[in-house]
Amino acid sequence: MSDVVEIFTDGACSGNPGPGGWGALLRWNGKERELWGGEADTTNNRMELMAAIRAFEALKKPVTARITTDSVYVKDGITQWIHGWKRNGWRTSSKQPVKNADLWQRLEAVMAQHTVEWRWVKGHSGNAENERVDELARRGVSEVTGRAY
């Protein structure tokens, strides 16, 4: 029995911006749950963030989670950059508004009750779980567009 919930996430976009999808795989104690969805007009970064948000929203109680993403943007954003953004009133170091601030704030809020370890994996490098959540994200795009992606 594992006390750690493993989470794998990915986002996809057909055009950037364009129709997008997100996918997540949650694994705990030998059980798995797949999640996916999409939006008609979005960006790849927003879908990467949504995958993590929706994975944490699916958790029913506080847990220790190990989340693996192929997005340096998401991993570094939530573990490093967010502290400066908050200190600067959601402005970047160049005084520009932080892109996707709404989703960064939402991600931070849904993570608050959990103990989280972030991991990065190179995308499309043969990692089985990353390939699986990529397919889920593509399913999200397909459901929005009505065509295979």
Q: Which residues are catalytic?
A: 10-11, 48, 70, 124, 134
- Which three-class secondary structure state does DSSP give residue 101? helix
- Provide the terminal-to-terminal Cα distance of the chain, rounded to the nearest Å: 37
Angstrom CA distances, 2 to 27, 98, 110, stand at 10, 37, 22
**Amino acid identity for residue 66 in this structure:** R
DSSP-assigned letter for residue 97: B
Asked if residues 11 and 137 have their Cβ atoms less than 8 Å apart, the reply is yes
Q: What's the rounded Cα separation, in Å, for the pair 129 and 123?
A: 10
Q: For residue 20, what are the β-bridge partners? A: 13, 39
DSSP-assigned letter for residue 95: S
